[in-house]
Amino acid sequence: MHKEDEQGKCGEEVKVALVHAAIHWKDKKKNLAKLLTLNEMAAGAGARIILNTELATAGYAFESRDDIAPLMETIPGPTTRAFGRIAKKYECYICIGLPEVAPGTGIFYNAAALIGPKGRVLGRHRKVAPAFRENLWAARGNLPILVAQTEFGKLGVMICADAYSYKPARVAALEGARLLLVPANWPPDHQNPEKFWRARAAENGIYVLACNRTGKDKSMDCRSAESFIIDTGGGAVRQFSSMDDSIVYGTLPLENGKFISSAAEDILGRRRPHCYADISLDTFSHFNPSFLLGLPEPADFTVATLQFRPVSREPSANTEKMLKLIDEAAAMAAAEGFTLNLIILPELSATGIIFERREAAKWCEEIPGPATKAFTRKAEEKKIFIVLGMAERHAGKFYNSCVLIGPNGVEGKYRKIHLSTYDQKWAEAGEGAAPAFDLPFGRVGMLAGCDLMFPESADALAKLGTDLLCVPALWGDCESKFIWEARLGEQMHLAVANQWGDFGKFHALGGSLICSYSRYPEKRLKLESPAEGDKVNIMRLSGKEARDKRFVENIDYEVLLQYMRSLP
């Protein structure tokens, strides 16, 4: 048995443990004996919160109700009583995944139980998104997302592939959870879960413990699977893999004996729920979503991102340079045998970053205006569509806006609704939901920069049938940039055009990105620009692939569409 212990502990904190164990398929007796020993070791070492894997008592790969039936039990039941004795003896919290049968109906669920220091079950979670072959035996979860009060504050529980969607974690955070426990059975070759778990932490400003497993299951090799302790910014404090049974220890900081809540309060307080109403639409359960949504016929199309470093306060020179880069992109596409259909330029690309309202008053333009007219001429010349990030003036107010321009002029615009700290010094937040626009090859939507930290905006566009999410960006935080790719969870092609270079006190990271979406991870493609330098990326995308969407709908939208409801 391999044991890891975190060094450098200081201040007020709570010790946690992940039981990263080899689970024996269909051998409940052996699994229970091992897990009870490991959990007692962790509790005896001072861990106050102990997390076990998904389906820890049973193993994972079952192909029918009959196959898993001998391993089912109720919650509470024999397993929770056995772990409850450890929890009571050491006054700790234990979470464990197991297959649950509902008394009275005989319905089976992939479940997790949370046991408290008095040895009793504090709550249970039923997996809302059964994955792989679980659908052959398990029903979708029918309970509210588990949020339980502990002596350290509230914590939430979800299971493994529940993390594909932002919704369960967001519900838990809005209900006051500041720690999320994730029992998992997720081998890394089945769409590596790291970016999803890190995204759930960063989007909500909460800590995440994700306990994976090791060993071989009936049809899965989990010996390289990783467990994580993730901080409130989405950083991996611990990232652990072992072929042996292991206990992974770590600590979480506390303030006045409670989970620290400041990061959650900040990001949750910046949400704009009145702009997210479309997330509640169940459009893709319709037998023909394309007909219901009036989507254009899907087609293959060519998209480009134009990474660009504008010169501050030189909008005419910047516009001229971008027009030349558009020529270059069109020529590159033609050299590859394609016609360029759409190009995305960075956020505030004509002016560069704006630091104060006085600058905005000088450089903001009306839409339509001189800049949009120049790009309209180029769109007409090249027969393309252009997404442009720009500083907008309207009715005495200033906005950080995105505009869609085609050969016939301005097709539409979007005003950024989640403002960065720099935006807040000069811009008003937009008040409307992000709109979607039909182009000859598909439906597109626009967001700007740090909107990507708020998954509801992307999800709302996906529910409207958006094929491609276009994101002009001015992104300077390297630690959160991973969130871009996590937005593929909202099931659209993604194109992010970022600025690059130093602008006084702000450094833009470059790294512009095009990611194709497919429900099959092995079919997804990615093109990424370097951190520095003007750069054109070009990719051919399939409109048909982006139409294959599935959403987690067994969720409480009344919670998701309210502002932060409670504090821990």
Same domain, 290 and 227: no
pLDDT of residue 11: 54
CA separation, residue 7 to residues 4, 15, 230, 295, 523 (Å): 10, 12, 16, 55, 41
| Cβ-contact 130, 140 below 8 angstroms | yes
Mean pLDDT of the chain: 95
For residue 434, pLDDT beyond 70: yes
Q: How confident is the model at residue 5 (pLDDT cuts 50, 70, 90)?
A: very low
pLDDT of residue 219: 87
pLDDT in tens, 81-132: 999 999 999 999 999 999 999 999 999 999 999 999 999 999 999 999 998 8
Q: How confident is the model at residue 564 (pLDDT cuts 50, 70, 90)?
A: low
Structural domains of the chain, count: 2
Same domain, 260 and 336: no
Residue 25 located in a structural domain: yes
pLDDT of residue 460: 98
Cα separation, 175 vs 257, whole angstroms: 19
| Cβ-contact 175, 147 below 8 angstroms | yes
pLDDT in tens, 189-220: 777 899 999 999 999 999 999 999 999 999 89
For residue 9, pLDDT beyond 80: no
Q: What is the CATH number of the domain that holds 504?
A: 3.60.110.10
pLDDT in tens, 306-319: 999 999 889 999 99
Beta bridge partners, 415, equal: 401
* Strand pairing report for 13-20 and 2-4: unpaired
CA separation, residue 510 to residues 290, 309, 530 (Å): 35, 9, 7
Same domain, 402 and 339: yes
pLDDT in tens, 469-524: 999 999 999 999 999 999 999 999 999 999 999 999 999 999 999 999 999 989 99
Region of residue 45 (phi > 0: left; psi between -120 and 50: alpha; otherwise: beta): alpha
Same domain, 26 and 87: yes
| Cβ-contact 210, 194 below 8 angstroms | no
| Cβ-contact 200, 172 below 8 angstroms | no
Same domain, 185 and 291: no
Residue 276 located in a structural domain: no
> Which 8-state DSSP code applies to residue 297?
P
Beta bridge partners, 99, equal: 110
pTM of the model: 0.95
pLDDT of residue 168: 97
pLDDT of residue 192: 82
The residue among 220, 241, 268 that closes a domain is 268
Same domain, 246 and 305: no
Residue 1 located in a structural domain: no
Amino acid at 533: G
Q: How confident is the model at residue 188 (pLDDT cuts 50, 70, 90)?
A: confident
For residue 396, pLDDT beyond 90: yes
Q: Mean pLDDT over residues 342-367, rounded?
A: 96
**What order do you get walking across the sheet with 535-542 strand by strand?**
409-415, 397-406, 385-394, 342-344, 300-307, 535-542
Cα separation, 80 vs 86, whole angstroms: 10
Q: How confident is the model at residue 553 (pLDDT cuts 50, 70, 90)?
A: very high
Beta bridge partners, 2, equal: 246
Residue 554 located in a structural domain: no
Count other C-beta atoms under 10 Å from residue 544's C-beta.
14
Cα separation, 52 vs 38, whole angstroms: 10
Count other C-beta atoms under 10 Å from residue 533's C-beta.
12
The residue among 219, 243, 268 that closes a domain is 268
Same domain, 294 and 248: no
Residue 3 located in a structural domain: no
Same domain, 124 and 252: yes
Same domain, 195 and 231: yes
Same domain, 81 and 132: yes
The residue among 268, 292, 319 that closes a domain is 268
Same domain, 402 and 450: yes
pLDDT of residue 159: 98
pLDDT in tens, 332-351: 999 999 999 999 999 999 99
Q: Domain containing 112: what range?
A: 13-268
Same domain, 245 and 97: yes
